[in-house]
Structure 1
Amino acid sequence: MRPPDNHVHTEWSWDTADSASMIAACTQAVAEGLPAIAFTEHLDFTVWHAEDRATTSGMRGRHPGQQLPIDVEGYFADIAECRERFPELRIWSGIEAGEPHLFAASLGRHLERSPVDRILGSLHSLELNGHLVGVTRLLWSDADGTMRRYLAEVVDMIESSDVFQVLAHVDFPRRYWPGGTDRFVEKDFEEEYRAVFRALAGTGRALEVNTSSPLASADLVRWFREEGGEAVSFGSDAHQPKAVGQRFDLAVDVVEAAGFRPGRDRFDFWRR
């Protein structure tokens, strides 16, 4: 059984090309035999609401500040068109909320106006000198220290925000590891990973196996299960239609080896 792709970006995400159409992504999902697809566009804030933690903690800005808001009118028009054109495919609306623990008020206002089916929580940036700075900029000066700080911040994000259903790409810094991803050793960070997984398991939320990142090992997913994790989500993190469902066969092998199986129906998360 092929799982849904719960993490896909289209032209409505600020970092994705205009050529990444929702219709093309749905066409690819059908060709891949996926039962469902979630269009989880980036929602990142460059202006803080007065009640956001980013404001109350004294953060002054984001570097670089290239993030743009979602054109929700255009986005939902595309969702409606795709649901009409692809009745055989379940199509979920969604967002990937960046640093949701820092922007609870801003997120709340957005979701009140534009509710969605699927919400991912992700961490791309850490604080440096009063600014949010992309993790990739920090890795080159201290890779191990940045990774440990990143995973500690993920714990804080889980404990401080209940808005998201799925923790996206817990392995995000690994994509940009100095000297190449093959130099990253999961075992070196087992204690920190397990702290993340205990926190996530305690909330009952799902861990994403992200297939744009270097594929998680069965050991890593097993650590989540051993810490009480109940559910796993699959996400291609596609930013082009051809990447929808990429490497899902390998990801299924990893997740099954870690002790998870298909859920209640073909649209569900996989479960222990």
Structure 2
Amino acid sequence: MVRSPSVIPKNDVITAQTSFHFAIIPIECRYFFKTIKQKCTFEAIKAHQNFLEKRYKTLENERENKLHSCFEKQEWTSTISFVKNTIEKVLENKKKNDQRRLDNLLLDQIREKATLEIKNTGTQSEQQHIQRSHEKFMRTLDIKLQLDKIEMRFVENMPPPSLNIFDKLELYAKELKSNDNVLSSLREQWKSILRKTKLDLTALMRQAKVAELKQINDEHQKLVQEISEHLRESYDKICHVSRTRHEQFAKRKLNFLAKRACTINEN
């Protein structure tokens, strides 16, 4: 479970009142108010937020006025449309990035609150059991990602790198010349058989991962059933955060693999 510096203090002392019953103060706010030599409080953050909202509306009005004053009336439509499309695209990307950071901050809060509840209400043995269960859960997520990667490689006719060793196998006939028609035909068949073999092995690897995923998922479910009822909800929240974070990671990995497969197919 990775801890975010935006949420967890370095002294590792967390109180339920300051961390969970009120909004979290992001680390960016602490740095900003330290720079302007002001005390970082929720009231100061709220006042600064109101100031920024008003300032944003003012700048937006100034932008519109300058666009209308700097160009002839017949050029307004095309120029304003171009500027707006350029700026709004950048702003939209920034809003998405900011929203993603806020979502991650909320996930950190959910995870740390659940972790604190388990620490405060669970016995030592219960905490150790939850730790083992969570490790097993993370393992299921890792194997699921491996399975998804193998399936994508199979569909895209792009076997795993571990099978590239077959590419080093070549057909030799010392008494035949390298440009011999019979040898050339046999080598093409050789390569075709090797390609099919790699795909067949990839299919077997997929079946092995399916069986492995089923077994480790059954082991995890067995451990979950042994978790005390009063800790089950907190554990589910921790798993929810871990699953969400892992899905974000898996999406990047699979997108990269898809782009690579597309590049290889084009070549």
- TM-score after normalising by structure 2: 0.24
Select the structure that is richer in helix. 2
Select the structure that is richer in strand. 1
- TM-score after normalising by structure 1: 0.24
Q: Which has the larger radius of gyration?
A: 2
